[in-house]
Chain A
Amino acid sequence: MARTKFNNVKISGLTTVIASNCESIDDEEELYDGDLDKIRRLKKTVGLGERYVVDDDTTSLDLCAQALERLVEGMDLDKSNIDGLIFVTQTPDYFLPSNSSIIHGKFKLPKSCACIDLNQGCSGYVYGLWVAHMMISSGTCSKVVLLAGDSMSRTVNPKDKASLPLFGDSGTATLIELSSNPLNSYFDLNTDGTGFGSIIIPAGGFRKPSTEKTKIEFEDGENIRSEENLAMHGGEVFKFATREVPKAVESILNYSGNSAKDLDALVFHQANKFVIQNIIKRLKNHDLTDVLIPLDTVSKYGNQGPSSIPSTISDSLRHDVSHSIKKMLLCGFGVGLSWASAVLMMDKIFCPKIYFYKKEIKND
């Protein structure tokens, strides 16, 4: 069973940078053939609304780099002390080298710094935190930066009614370091690879390289896309999430010796409001009355993949985590299929408001 506990690692800072171009489902009547009632229902039931997306030459690396700049400036970090860097993304700049190596060079980090990319999506923030905790508790590193971000909007076909209005882009930076006080954190990691086809970009990799044929658009139900676009089978993902996530929450509560009412906040990956509400319905035997459970991130910024959990903390919980100690349950779930949960403390961390991406003018 992939679960573990740490007692000497803490999260000390977190920054979020959201892409700068705002899009709204209210402006997309054409996509729904003028069916305003359908748009109204998508807003009400699924919680769709506004989202922020990158332009064609901005990547998740750019968003995360700005988040890291904000973290370094805001915490007055000495970069020469950073000895671990993890970049969680599924939209890297290149097949090779890794995004973490590029960030390492861009920020002139010390050569004695371990850099890895993790190819994970919506469960990736919790996976990344787990790896960071291991790097520190093993004695390998003392200050690890976790960058998490995707630019899924660039993978979605503009005629895909199901996915276009859902995804937003953002980048986040989190500092994880050795804690002088004992601080318990618990992790539980899971995978069901039989569902790998439920969320997939079928072509463009080495299994099915990009060709003229893979660029051809085709109809998939109500949606139009090519094999090089993101394909998400919403019904399957919904069934997966409502089947596994409530069990995962119960499992990490048991493992960490907590009941639901011991939590200050329960932060799910912000897939969409409909999914989260159905997960919560299945937790009806637990007392969640006084637990903060953010639901509306998707309506404000879209589904942000691996950065949805940290960006929700920046947006909805920053006053809570920056002024006192809070017990948090974090749960990410999605592509893989994979899911990961953690119970950990956030004790007066550096957590400023959300920033919007400012494009640098390049002279090349």
Chain B
Amino acid sequence: MTRQEFLNELSDIMQLDEVLIGDEVLEDFSEWDSMANLGVLSMFDMEFSVHLTTDDLKNIKTVAGLMTLAGDNISI
């Protein structure tokens, strides 16, 4: 998955109208709620076979931070 694909997917999960760039702070979005958390866990599970928990997400501050959890699965 490319970086842009990840950003589009995240925007879709959070049902945002705007385009994400990566430096956004997750807590600034009211859309970053328990449903979005589930959607992200599901995406990591499905796309990267990375099995995260909601606790893993609690330590993440930004959209870019989320991408680091995917490691080498996201290309430039």
Q: A residues near B, CB below 8 A?
A: 37-38, 41, 44-46, 234-235, 238-239, 242, 274, 278, 281-282
Contact = CB atoms under 8 A, between A and B. Distances in A.
B49 interface: no
A46 B35 contact: yes
Contacts of A234: 34
B33 A41 contact: yes
A234 B30 CA distance: 20
A44 B35 CA distance: 11
A168 B30 CA distance: 27
Interface in B21-76: 30-31, 33-36, 38-39, 41-42, 45-46, 54
Given A41-B15, A44-B15, A45-B15, A235 B42 contact: no
Nearest to A235: B38
Interface in B1-26: 15
The 10 tightest CB contacts between A and B, nearest first, are A238-B38, A37-B30, A45-B15, A45-B35, A242-B42, A44-B15, A278-B42, A282-B46, A235-B38, A274-B35
Nearest to B33: A41
A38 B13 CA distance: 16
Contact of B54 (A41, A235, A242, A278): A235
A235 B31 contact: no
A46 B31 CA distance: 12
Given A46-B35, A235-B54, A274-B35, A41 B42 contact: no
B31 A41 contact: yes
A282 B42 CA distance: 9
A38 B32 CA distance: 11
Contacts of A239: 38, 41-42
Nearest to B38: A238
A274 B36 CA distance: 10
A45 B36 CA distance: 9
A235 B46 contact: no
A55 to B, nearest CB: 31
A46 B35 CA distance: 8
Given A46-B35, A235-B38, 10 more contacts: A38-B33, A41-B15, A44-B15, A45-B15, A45-B36, A234-B34, A239-B38, A242-B45, A278-B39, A281-B42
A281 B39 CA distance: 11
Contact of A235 (B30, B33, B34): B34
A276 to B, nearest CB: 13
A274 B46 CA distance: 16
A274 B30 CA distance: 17
Contacts of B36: 45
Contact of A281 (B15, B41, B46): B46
A239 B39 CA distance: 10
A234 B46 CA distance: 19
A235 B39 CA distance: 10
